[in-house]
Amino acid sequence: MSNKIIKGKLKVLILSRVLPCHGIGGLENHTLHLAKGLSQIEDIEVRILTTQHPEGICESTDGNINIYYIPNKKPGKYTIDTFRLFHCYTQKLDQIHKFDVIHSQGFAGCLLRPGKSRKIITSPHGTLYSETPLHKDYFSTLNLAEKVRTLGKNLRRIVFRPAYKRLLKISHIIQADSNFIRSELIKELPLISNKIKIVYLGIPEESYPAIEKSEARKKLNVKNDEMIFFSLGRFTPLKGFDLLLKASALIKDSNFHIWIGGSGPYENKLKKLSTELGLKNVKFMGRIPEGDIATYFASADFFVIPEISNPAFGLVALESLLQNTPVIASDAGALPEIISREFGLIFKKAHPQDLAEKMSLAIKNRSATLTNQTFSLPKESPISLRSLAIEKFSFKKMIDGILNLYLSGLSDIE
């Protein structure tokens, strides 16, 4: 399709709870990448409205993108006040700029009101419960006391459900990151099925330059003959790091190392479990600076995602593939849809024995092609996982897909 807008400038306002100024994360980077990609298209004018800047800045620019910060009391957080301010500031900005499209990332636009001349497009990046303990798959495994505690801790999310459903209903188009999330959204609200369009996420390859494995290992003082499994994320029960530790204890071959990067409320429990299991080959890396994460991906033989929640996509897996590092992931959420045969191995969610078997297979075949797999594990692989990932999850395809949603939305009201 042509990237030129025919009838004057297309004015877009993107709403997002977070940007990179608020911290490290998938949504933070995705929102800014999306805005920058769209702003490069002729005749598109992009603005972003987000939560309060940690330093109290009211407005900033990034290239030709104007960014506005609402004065909520908790930067990067959803509260009733946050939703109210998103609505009020959207109204004020809309009076000035007359937006054609309001694009809500996540649930930022929950209190928006439909306009007569603008389209509301929502990218929920999951469902209200999909990556929380409230999802039925996880909640059903809890005992009564755990269920009560979980309901209490997530009461705000439960109360918020009507506003969440309202956003889906008033949205003209809903962008799903995967077929999995499309089906989850339809289960929750069947009447929106015709509005859901799938656009896979992508990340600009120039923002994630490839690092040679030998260079990455040299920087991190890792020997070339060491087998490294790397995992990364916030330390919470849903991330499944305990499964990775239990699986490691089941592997007879001791010639491998586990690196776990991140921090969070579950950290002490994970370290205690590692000690109880007698694991000598596990290293907790702490919170890794964003600028160093690519080096860790590149130095590893495999990136492991032991997730037990239901991810809508899994951008972290794509970041690993861009460093030519294959992935071992659970069959949770959209991960099997993203990690196809050429990209890695899938194990049964919440089953450490199955994860141990996949890790053992990787160890035994470190210098040979895996059975029934198209990628190979030697340091100098003849097939570039990076090239395959860029082809399948092209950033340009994502931008063109989102632009198509914007334009098809406009045609409905012209």
Provide the pLDDT for residue 383.
55
Residue 197, domain CATH: 3.40.50.2000
Same domain, yes or no: 234 and 290: yes
Same domain, yes or no: 335 and 406: no
Provide the pLDDT for residue 7.
59
29 located within any domain: yes
Provide the pLDDT for residue 2.
43
Backbone φ and ψ for 329, nearest 5 degrees, come out as -130, 155
Same domain, yes or no: 155 and 100: yes
The region that residue 330 occupies, defined by phi over 0 for left and psi between -120 and 50 for alpha, beta otherwise, is: beta
Same domain, yes or no: 139 and 224: no
Provide the pLDDT for residue 137.
87
CA distance 80 to 110: 10
Same domain, yes or no: 171 and 70: yes
Amino acid at residue number 226: E
Distances (CA, A) of 245 to 134, 195, 265: 24, 42, 17
- Tokens encoding 151: 């309901």
Domains in the chain: how many in total?
2
Provide the pLDDT for residue 414.
42
3 located within any domain: no
Tell me which DSSP letter residue 19 carries.
-
What count of residues does the chain have? 414
Low-confidence ranges of the chain (pLDDT < 70): 1-8, 116, 367-383, 409-414
Provide the pLDDT for residue 378.
41
Same domain, yes or no: 241 and 119: no
1 located within any domain: no
Same domain, yes or no: 171 and 32: yes
157 located within any domain: yes
Q: Are 105 and 402 in contact (CB under 8 A)?
A: no
77 located within any domain: yes
Provide the pLDDT for residue 336.
95
Task: Determine the structural domain holding residue 233 and report its residue range.
Answer: 208-392
5 located within any domain: no
Same domain, yes or no: 356 and 398: no
378 located within any domain: yes
Sheet of 257-261, strands arranged across:
282-286, 257-261, 228-232, 302-305, 327-330, 344-347
Give pTM, 2 decimals.
0.88
Beta-carbon contacts of 289 under 8 Å, excluding residues fewer than 6 positions away, are: none
Same domain, yes or no: 213 and 179: no
